[in-house]
Amino acid sequence: LCIAHEPKRKTHTAWNTGLINYVKKTGDLINGTDVHLYLAEELKTAAQAHPKQITFKKNTYYEQLDSAFQKYIRIYKQDKNFETFIAYYKKELPGKLLFCTEFGDKPAEYWLNTIANAGHTFEIFCKYRNEFRALLVHNFMSNWMWASRRPEGKYDDNIFNTKNINRCHWYSLQMANEIPYDAKQLSTEIKIENSGTYFFYFNNAGEKKYLPKIQMKNILVPQYEIHFVTGEYTYSSAGQTGFMGKGSEKSMEVKEINIVTSEKIEEIPANAFGYVKIVVE
pLDDT score at 143: 77
Q: Is 32 within a domain?
A: yes
Q: Is 164 within a domain?
A: yes
Work out how many domains the chain is built from and give that number.
Answer: 1
Q: Is 2 within a domain?
A: no
Q: Is 21 within a domain?
A: yes
The three-state secondary structure class of 223 is: strand
Q: Is 85 within a domain?
A: yes
pLDDT score at 188: 82
pLDDT score at 280: 87
Query: What is the distance between the alpha carbons of residues 277 and 257, in angstroms, rounded to a whole number?
Result: 14
Q: How many CA atoms lie within 13 A of 127 on its CB side?
A: 17
Query: What is the distance between the alpha carbons of residues 36 and 30, in angstroms, rounded to a whole number?
Result: 18
Q: Is 3 within a domain?
A: no
Q: Kindly give the confidence (pLDDT) of every residue in the chain, 281 residues in length, as a single tens digit, with 9 standing for 90 and above.
A: 999 999 889 999 999 999 999 999 999 999 999 999 999 999 999 999 999 999 999 999 999 999 999 999 999 999 999 999 999 999 999 999 999 999 999 999 999 999 999 999 999 999 999 999 999 998 878 777 789 999 999 999 999 999 999 999 999 999 999 999 999 999 888 888 888 999 999 999 999 999 998 888 777 767 899 999 999 999 999 999 999 999 999 999 999 999 999 988 899 999 999 999 999 88
Q: Is 4 within a domain?
A: no
pLDDT score at 156: 97
pLDDT score at 222: 75
Residue range of the domain that includes 82: 10-280
pLDDT score at 263: 87
pLDDT score at 281: 82
pLDDT score at 165: 97
Helices (H), the chain: 10-25, 44-49, 63-78, 81-92, 108-111, 115-128, 168-176
Q: CA distances (Å), 62 to each of 11, 110, 190, in order?
A: 40, 14, 36
Q: Is 86 within a domain?
A: yes
pLDDT score at 113: 98
Query: What is the distance between the alpha carbons of residues 241 and 244, in angstroms, rounded to a whole number?
Result: 6
